[in-house]
Structure 1
Amino acid sequence: MADRDPDTIKQEIDQARDQLALTVDSLAERANPRRIADDVKSGLLKFVKKPAVAVSLAGVGVVTIVIVVRRIRQR
């Protein structure tokens, strides 16, 4: 094992500590529940705004309203 200068070793440790701190901060940001919820919400809105999906959801809504109105009238 080669003899190393204590100052060099300290610098390497400091660099490793800084890199580890950056990694932990990055992981904390990626695992933030609010950020994850915002990402899911924006993805869902982007999906729903597609014309085919919007028309399908409107159709399902109309069918649901018709069924509810018929059941209310049959009482």
Structure 2
Amino acid sequence: MARDPETIEREIEQARTNLVATLDQLGTKANPQKLANAAKDGVRAKLDNPKVKYPLIGAGALIAVLLLRKLFR
């Protein structure tokens, strides 16, 4: 069955419209600034957890004491 050219053109135009919408969505999702902000928010959320926060503070304090001890010996 042959289709008329107008129907084919409408289908092509609809496919183009759908493709443009998909590309816009992909561009939004793959935005480097958005990805960086999401990663930064994830790290901040992880560091706000007391099970992570306090051991890191302790490790930093221990390293500072060891460095000061080494410098002044």
How does the TM-score come out when normalised to structure 2? 0.91
Distance in structure 1 (CA, Å) of the matches to 2:40 and 2:15: 36
Report the equivalent of 2:55: 56
Q: Give the Å deviation of 1:48.
A: 0.7
Q: Percent identity?
A: 37
How is 1:16-55 mapped onto 2 (pairs within 5 angstroms)? 16-55=15-54
Structure 1, unmatched stretches of 5+, are none
How does the TM-score come out when normalised to structure 1? 0.89
* More moved, 24-33 vs 51-60: 24-33
State the aligned residue count. 73
Distance in structure 2 (CA, Å) of the matches to 1:38 and 1:22: 24
Q: Give the Å deviation of 1:7.
A: 1.6
Structure 2, unmatched stretches of 5+, are none
Q: Give the Å deviation of 1:25.
A: 1.1
Report the equivalent of 1:12: 11
Q: Which amino acid aligns with 2:48?
A: K
